[in-house]
Amino acid sequence: MDELQQWVNKDAVYLISAVLFIVGIKMLSSPESAALGNYLSALAMVLAVGVTLLQGGITDFRWIAIGMAIGAIIGFAASRLVKMTAMPQMVAIYNGLGGAASALVAISEFLRLQGQLAPFLTIVILLSLFVGTLTLSGSLVAFAKLQELVSGQPVVFPLQHPINLLGILGALGCGVWLVFHPGGMEYFWIVAGVALVLGVLVVIPIGGADMPVVIALLNSYSGIAVSLTGFVLENNVLIISGSLVGASGIFLTTEMCKAMNRSIWNVLFGGFGLTAEGAPAPATEIPGGGAVKSYSVEDAVTIMENSSSVVFVPGYGMAAARAQHQVRELGDALEARGIDVKYAIHPVAGRMPGHMNVLLAEANVPYDLLKDMDEINDEFKHTDVALVIGANDVVNPAANEDPSSPIYGMPILNVEQSRHVMVLKRSMNPGFAGIENMLFYRENTLMVFGDARATLSKMVDAISQD
Amino acid sequence: MVSVFLIGIYVFVLSVFVGFEIISKVPPMLHTPLMSGTNAISGITLVGAVLAAGKGESNLAIGLGIAAVICGMINVVGGYMVTNRMLQMFRKKKEAGQSNG
């Protein structure tokens, strides 16, 4: 043990570890190399933590061992038990835990070095505490919304922005005081408390369909918190891996915002889906007196059987109904009849980036059939049937045509260009944003009402009976 | 002291650029595994957590360290394992036929 300790250079191992993290993420650029990339990243983690245990000057390993065992058991069980439809919630919780770990280390360092902190160190400890705590409470609210423990609707209250601003200024004041008077524990706790409350206040006004942006942003915060911890501990591997996570979160956040044609400020502070008075957005005038064509499962199947190409367009409704396996069965049944089947995925379909892809992969849909919006949008005009399963705003043609619509300018899947559009829907209730979907009233659109999962099962049965 | 932090800032800025460069190459199909994989990477705080738990001088500092170890370890183990579970599900057409689903 002693020989091993002398022989291993801690900083060299940290360097190898940082390189492996980067290579691991780089290998996520293709589904073929991604799994190996994940193993390399895990190896990087084992190396970094291993060398810290070996050379960190730690004398008492008992508590560490107990903590690691508890964490490993919980992590293992969670990774086995979580349903793929619940991945957004799981990522939300992990963001929160990352933030919590950073905040706890910051508190522990502050206690250890109390009264003898250099100004720069005080600043990074406070930032690490603030960002970590905010990430924790914000992520818990995001989790509660995704798990539907609280309403997914935006919750707005008067003086929202002034209260938030007051909190930030208060925390800033305490921080400045602490830089000049190191050791004022009560001010330190005030900063933590403000961050805890702010995390709740910032996430609670954001609606369910905007959760992809929020999760990505909190993901980024958890990475920034790790980087700040790296500054506190003067450890480069933490700075590097934290900044990778931070960059990833920011990248995904901007991608999601682009896909909704909204700015990050509008998502965070817009209270989307509510007008200034807090009432639902007014309904637009509906052509044709609001009549939709409702079809039976059998009639819908007849149309599909007589087509040569079908594109599935899944949305959050597919996840909510856990219908991904039925989608795949229907796809297989159609393919067996020589019909060309593809899957069109909008970047913000579902509750987190890539949500639909993972669900369809779970149902064993080959990934070469999963098409991004840019790949598939030109194909709809040559498509016989676009089958919309629980998607709403991402296929609303108002985004292209109606400048008065709140979603005008948002890039959408151009399903309305297909010869037939079939919409599987529970009822005529408008989507999250309360925006009427003109697609449902189109000449070439037919609705099949009912639970998506049950409807799809009936469709599969109807096809195999012939 | 200041120069150590300055080097840290160099490292931070450069790796943000590297991060953007490699992450923009990840296809949207893999964005969920990317998020859970980066969740696992943020468990690297474990390095700070074991130092806090192993070298803390007061019971409070040790207690906080253990709590951080638990949080970090959940992220690491849960994050990598669930990412692996997801990545194993992505199959090409010819392979998908043979799997158990």
Number of domains in chain A: 3
> Pick from A326, A364, A329: which is nearest to B94 by CA?
A364
Closest CA to A204 of A259, A143, A262: A143
Contacts of A232 in chain B (CB under 8 A): 48
Supply A13's token pair: 């191992």
Contacts with B8 (C-beta within 8 Å, 6 or more apart), sequence order: A230, A231, A234, A236, A239
Q: Quick one: pLDDT at residue B92?
A: 79
Q: Is A244–B15 a contact, with Cβ atoms under 8 angstroms apart?
A: yes
- Name A447's bridge partners: A294, A423
Tokens 């070298």 sit on residue: B55
d(CA A42, CA A173): 40
| Letter string b/e over residues A299-328, b meaning 16 or more CB atoms within 10 A of that residue's CB | ebbebbbebebbbbbbbbbbbbbebbbbbb
CA distance A221 to chain B (A): 10
Top pLDDT among B38 and A294 is at B38
The strand ranges marked E within B2-49 are none
Whether residues A215 and A263 fall in one domain:
yes
Q: Does A458 map to a domain?
A: yes
Q: Do A149 and A292 fall within a single domain?
A: no
Q: Are strands A445-449 and A385-389 parallel, antiparallel or unpaired?
A: unpaired
DSSP string spanning B45-65? GHHHHHHHHHH-SSHHHHHHH
- Cβ contact, residue pair B91, A72, below 8 Å: no
**Active-site residue among A60, A384, A393, A402?**
A393
Domain boundary among A47, A65, A81: A81
Q: How far is B18 from chain A (nearest CA, A)?
A: 8
- Say what the pLDDT of residue A34 is: 96
Does residue A299 have an active-site annotation?
Answer: no
Q: Which of A297, A294, A356, A299 is nearest to A323 (CA)?
A: A356
Query: Residue A19 belongs to what domain range?
Result: 1-81
**Are A113 and A195 contained in the same domain?**
yes
- B 61-90: CB under 8 A from A: 61-62, 64-90
Q: Are residues A146 and A270 in the same domain?
A: yes
**Is there a contact between A387 and A311 (Cβ–Cβ < 8 Å)?**
yes
Quickly list DSSP for A34-76. Answer: HHHHHHHHHHHHHHHHHHHHHHS-----HHHHHHHHHHHHHHH
Q: Tell me: do A449 and A312 sit in the same domain.
A: yes
- The answer to whether B51 faces chain A, any CB pair under 8 Å, is yes
- Which residue in the block uniquely carries the two structure tokens 């996520």? A28
Query: A67 contacts in B (CB within 8 Å)?
Result: 49, 53, 65-67, 69-70, 73
Q: Which of A390, A348, A362, A366 is nearest to A83 (CA)?
A: A362
Q: Do A133 and A263 lie in a common domain? A: yes
Q: What is the ipTM of this complex?
A: 0.92
CA distance B32 to A351: 10
Whole-number Å distance between alpha carbons of B95 and B99: 7
Catalogue the E-assigned strands of A152-202.
Answer: none
A118/B1 touch (CB, cutoff 8 Å), yes or no: yes
Region of residue A423 (left: phi > 0; alpha: psi -120 to 50; beta: else)? beta
A254 and A105 housed in the same domain: yes
Shared domain for A263 and A301, answered yes or no, is: no
Residue A125 is predicted with a pLDDT of 94
Statement to judge: residues A188 and A201 lie in one domain: yes
User: Are A271 and A418 members of one domain?
Assistant: no
Structure-token pair, residue A304 = 């599909």
Domain for residue A282, yes or no?
no
User: Is residue A281 situated within a structural domain?
Assistant: no
Q: Which amino acid is at B88?
A: Q
- The SS3 call for residue A389 is strand
DSSP A404-450: TSTTTT-----GGGSSEEEEEESSS---TT----GGGGSTTEEEEES
Nearest to B84 among A35, A95, A325 (CB): A35
Residue pLDDT tens, chain A, 466 long: 566 666 778 899 999 999 999 999 999 999 999 999 999 999 999 999 999 999 888 888 888 999 999 999 999 999 999 999 999 999 999 999 999 999 999 999 998 887 788 888 999 999 999 999 999 999 999 999 998 888 777 777 778 888 889 999 999 999 999 888 877 888 999 999 999 999 999 998 888 778 889 999 999 999 999 999 999 999 999 999 999 999 999 999 999 999 888 888 888 776 555 443 334 444 455 555 567 888 889 999 999 999 999 999 999 889 989 999 999 999 999 999 999 999 999 998 888 899 999 999 999 999 999 999 999 999 999 999 999 998 888 999 988 888 888 788 889 999 999 999 999 988 776 655 567 788 998 889 999 999 999 999 999 999 877 6
C-alpha A94/C-alpha B78 separation (Å) is 9
Q: Which of residues A275, A298, A323 is at a domain's end? A: A275
Chain B residues lying within 8 Å of A82, measured CB to CB: 82
Q: How many CB pairs under 8 A join A and B?
A: 377
Q: Are A316 and A349 in contact (CB under 8 A)?
A: yes
Kindly state whether residues A251 and A339 are assigned to the same domain.
Answer: no
Query: What pTM was computed for the model?
Result: 0.89
Please choose, from the candidates A349, A455, A352, the residue with its C-alpha nearest in 3D space to the C-alpha of residue A411: A349
First vs last Cα of chain A: how many Å apart? 71
Q: What is the pLDDT of residues B42-99, one digit of tens each?
A: 999 999 999 988 887 888 988 999 999 999 999 999 999 999 999 999 987 765 444 4
Among A46, A65, A81, which residue terminates a domain?
A: A81
Q: Note whether A292 and A436 are same-domain residues.
A: yes
A53 contacts on B by Cβ (under 8 Å): 50
Longest Cα separation, chain B: 60
